[in-house]
Amino acid sequence: MVMASPSRFRASGIITTLRCVLRGPVPCALCRRRIVGSAPACPACLADLPWRNWALTPATHRLALDARLPVYAAFAYRFPLDRIIARVKAGGTPLLLDHILRLAITHLPEEVATLSGGAAPCAVPTAPRRLRRRQMDLPRQLSQGLGSALGTTPIVIPFRASDAGHAAQHGLGRAARRALRIKPLDYWSSLAGTRLLLVDDVCTTGATLAAHVLALEEAGATIVAACVLALADPPRGTPDQTSRFTTDSA
């Protein structure tokens, strides 16, 4: 079992802030207005992001989890956050998303801390071949931030799984993802007595979270809750993308 230090999260934030301060006035990454300061986007744009403020996920969203696991989400997976996350996953710069993640951590409610009760944040692993083309492991970064906020040390648990279970979801719509059976995962470590807070970047149907919950519980762990950066909207509606954000931002 490998421990991930929360100090890496803080150090990265200091370096990012110094770089932003030294660069002078720059366009907001979202609306393109000139701004000064350490943030890559203006306060108005950051406030207009699809915040959920770590609201508890309704049972209707947790189809694959049978509504039994509390899932907290910082944002709704809507424009422009969906575009920002997609660009980072495609290899784009993580500066804006990194700042958004840190901002979300500062809004973490006491309810999450109380429920987690000292449980260690544990990131859903990113498939190795995807991680090679990205500049940011978002679940891992979020896990480290949550660990810093909750005063617990995130853990990384070695696991064995075919990449196919993850790759098959890429590019699929909601219905196809829901119908997909994630391949079983096998965690190498014995986790008897371990309490975990499962962490992922985006929850669409809950299938990925469900697969990891099952594997971790079979290894002896207790999953107290899950935290995700963004939660997809329920299938009954399409997000309104009418806004002042530029479509080529971030």
SS3 232: coil
Residue 118 pLDDT > 60: yes
Residue 17 pLDDT > 90: no
77-113 tens-digit pLDDT: 999 999 999 988 888 888 999 999 999 999 998 888 8
38 pLDDT band (50/70/90 cuts)? confident
Q: How far apart are CA 147 and CA 170, in angstroms?
A: 28
Q: Which of 32-46, 129-143, 172-186 has the lowest mean pLDDT?
A: 172-186
Mean pLDDT along residues 168-179: 50
Residue 219's pLDDT is: 84
Q: Nearest Cα to 96, choosing from 75, 108, 107, 81?
A: 81
To the nearest whole number, what is the mean pLDDT of the chain? 76
Residue 23 pLDDT > 90: no
Residue 204's pLDDT is: 85
Residue 247's pLDDT is: 31
Q: What share of the chain is helix, strand, coil (3-state, %, to 5)?
A: 40, 20, 45
Q: How far apart are CA 177 and CA 210, in angstroms?
A: 13
Mean pLDDT along residues 131-160: 86
- Contact between 85 and 201 under an 8 Å Cβ cutoff? The reply is yes
Q: Which residue has the higher pLDDT, 25 or 5?
A: 25
Residue 63 pLDDT > 60: no
Q: Write out the DSSP string of 20-78.
A: HHHH-SEE-TTT--EE-SS-SS-HHHHHTS-EEEEEEPPGGG-GGGTT-S-EEEEEES-
Torsion of CA 30, 107, 199, 216, to 10 degrees: -170
193-232 tens-digit pLDDT: 899 999 999 988 788 888 888 888 888 899 999 999 999 8
Q: Which residue has the higher pLDDT, 19 or 149?
A: 149
Residue 52's pLDDT is: 93
Please give the structure tokens belonging to residue 12.
Answer: 């990265």
Q: How far apart are CA 36 and CA 102, in angstroms?
A: 19
Edge-first strand listing for the sheet containing 195-203: 2-3, 155-156, 120-123, 195-203, 222-231, 71-76, 51-56
Question: Which residue has tokens 């421990």?
Answer: 3
- Contact between 214 and 240 under an 8 Å Cβ cutoff? The reply is no
170 pLDDT band (50/70/90 cuts)? low
Please give the structure tokens belonging to residue 162.
Answer: 């075919």
Please give the structure tokens belonging to residue 146.
Answer: 């949550």
Residue 189's pLDDT is: 64
All structural domains of the chain, each given as residue ranges with its CATH number in brackets, are 2-161+172-231 (3.40.50)
Residue 72's pLDDT is: 92
Q: How far apart are CA 149 and CA 235, in angstroms?
A: 33
Mean pLDDT along residues 186-193: 71
Residue 32's pLDDT is: 92
